[in-house]
């Protein structure tokens, strides 16, 4: 099925190394997050990011994003984000739920990237009084919802505005691995060195089963994060099995290896798509112009993918679909 499935990296299998790590963790240990694996995460990520990190495992990206944002804003404040950001359109209002009603304040952007100038304009439109919701955080997604990777300098431009206005900067990294694999920059360069305060580091789409990391850079995220996790029902009693997945993904940079494979698959498809591409392909998602008839022909040939509005489709590659795996689809598209 790796040759025909392009509808979601959420549908991909779990990497064998993660499965092995689950088996290896299957012995008695302390409950919740008191176990050795959970306790090892701070050090592991501090090493990866070259700075002191506080890390909290969490089973889903929705929970990761919401808990970080609820930590950064009070209920009467706002969160600036791209107008089609995952937190805005695909999480059933989770950030409002976790924060007690904070407002998402949306911005346009090319390829789902917020622009620093647009951000300044948006901020200048907020009257500084109690009648208007005052923003307290910015959230950006890397890779973006349209598959683009943020460059450190772009993040820096956003964080400069954030700092000037006293806003926290969150990065939704559901596909952080794919973005870093593309730019080749150090994880530190596109996060805390560029001004990011906290990262939702996703592993599930990239080969894990249900494992994401909330990463606070530069010491502790402060009081409340672990309470929100418990209160939200995310403190699994056998939490070591989530930590084990993360450790497996970090070992020997499996997270990068997997992301590179998915990116390679996407790049191979991109080459076949040519002018059909709506955005540059930098990670593992392609947005492709496709008539209804063309889409039907590809589906008839067995390929599975999402329509993206009218006249377009989204193709997603996964860690188990490298350039070789996608060759049949690439050929089929080229032959349309």
Using CB under 8 A as the binding rule, the residues of this chain from 210 to 229 that contact its own copies are: 210, 224, 226-229
From 93, 108, 274, 311, residue interacting with its own copies (rule: CB under 8 A): 93
Beta-sheet pairing, 134-141 with 168-173: parallel
Q: Considering only residues 243 through 302, tell me which ones interact with its own copies, judged by CB under 8 A.
A: none
- In contact, 78 and 127? CB cutoff 8 Å: no
- Interaction of residue 238 with its own copies, rule CB under 8 A: yes
From 50, 90, 117, 307, residue interacting with its own copies (rule: CB under 8 A): 90
Q: What is the phi/psi pair of residue 278, to 5°?
A: -90, -25
Q: Considering only residues 4 through 23, tell me which ones interact with its own copies, judged by CB under 8 A.
A: 5, 7-8, 10-14, 19, 22-23
- Interaction of residue 231 with its own copies, rule CB under 8 A: yes
Q: Considering only residues 120 through 149, tell me which ones interact with its own copies, judged by CB under 8 A.
A: 130-134
Q: Considering only residues 145 through 204, tell me which ones interact with its own copies, judged by CB under 8 A.
A: 204
Residues 6+ apart with CB under 8 A from 26: 241
Smallest distance from its own copies to CB 275, Å: 26
- Interaction of residue 241 with its own copies, rule CB under 8 A: yes
Nearer to its own copies among residue 78 and residue 194 (C-beta): 78
CA–CA separation, 157 and 101 (whole Å): 28
Smallest distance from its own copies to CB 189, Å: 28
From 24, 32, 47, 292, residue interacting with its own copies (rule: CB under 8 A): 32
CA–CA separation, 205 and 269 (whole Å): 19
* Cα separations in angstroms, 306 against 149, 175, 268, 287: 22, 18, 19, 10
Smallest distance from its own copies to CB 155, Å: 25
- For tokens 């990190």, the residue is 53
- In contact, 123 and 153? CB cutoff 8 Å: no
C-alpha torsion sign, points 21, 24, 25, 26: positive
Nearer to its own copies among residue 50 and residue 324 (C-beta): 324
Q: Which of the ranges 90-98, 113-121, 141-149, 274-282 carries the binding residues for its own copies, by CB under 8 A?
A: 90-98
- Interaction of residue 96 with its own copies, rule CB under 8 A: yes
Nearer to its own copies among residue 68 and residue 158 (C-beta): 68
- Interaction of residue 66 with its own copies, rule CB under 8 A: yes
- In contact, 213 and 64? CB cutoff 8 Å: yes
Smallest distance from its own copies to CB 281, Å: 21
CB atoms within 10 A of CB 168: 22
The candidate with the shortest Cα–Cα distance to 328, out of 258, 277, 280, 265, is 265
* Cα separations in angstroms, 23 against 119, 234, 249: 47, 22, 15
Any bridge partners for residue 4, and if so which?
A: none
Nearer to its own copies among residue 102 and residue 198 (C-beta): 102
Q: Which of the ranges 155-163, 184-192, 237-245, 265-273 carries the binding residues for its own copies, by CB under 8 A?
A: 237-245
């Amino acid at each position: 099925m790796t040759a025909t499935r392009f509808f979601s990296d959420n549908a991909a299998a779990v990497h064998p190394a993660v499965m092995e790590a689950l088996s290896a963790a299957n012995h008695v240990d302390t409950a919740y997050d008191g176990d050795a694996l959970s306790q090892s995460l701070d050090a592991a990520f501090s090493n990866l990011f070259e700075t002191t990190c506080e890390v909290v495992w969490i089973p889903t990206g929705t929970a990761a994003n919401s808990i970080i944002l609820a930590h950064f804003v009070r209920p009467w404040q706002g969160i600036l984000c791209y107008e089609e950001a995952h937190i805005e359109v695909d999480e059933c209002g989770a950030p409002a739920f976790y924060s007690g009603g904070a407002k998402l304040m949306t911005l346009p952007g090319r390829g789902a990237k917020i622009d620093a100038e647009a951000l300044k304009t948006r901020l200048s439109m907020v009257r500084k009084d109690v009648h208007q919701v005052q923003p307290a955080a910015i959230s950006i997604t890397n890779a973006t919802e349209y598959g683009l990777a943020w460059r450190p300098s772009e993040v820096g431009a956003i964080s400069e505005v954030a700092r000037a206005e006293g806003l926290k900067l969150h990065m939704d990294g559901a596909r952080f691995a794919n973005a870093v694999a593309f730019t080749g920059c150090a994880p530190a360069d596109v996060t805390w060195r560029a001004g990011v305060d906290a990262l939702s580091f996703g592993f599930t789409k990239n080969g894990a089963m249900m494992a994401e990391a909330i990463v606070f850079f530069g010491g502790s995220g402060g009081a409340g994060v672990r309470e929100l996790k418990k209160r939200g029902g995310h403190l699994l009693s056998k939490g070591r099995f989530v930590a084990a997945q993360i450790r497996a993904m970090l070992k020997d940079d499996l997270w990068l290896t997997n992301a590179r494979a998915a990116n390679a698959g996407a790049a191979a498809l991109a080459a076949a798509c040519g002018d059909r591409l709506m955005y540059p392909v930098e990670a593992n998602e392609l947005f492709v112009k496709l008539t209804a008839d063309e889409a039907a022909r590809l589906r008839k040939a067995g390929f599975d993918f999402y329509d993206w509005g009218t006249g377009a489709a989204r193709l997603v590659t996964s860690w188990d679909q490298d350039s070789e795996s996608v060759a049949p689809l690439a050929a089929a598209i080229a032959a349309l």
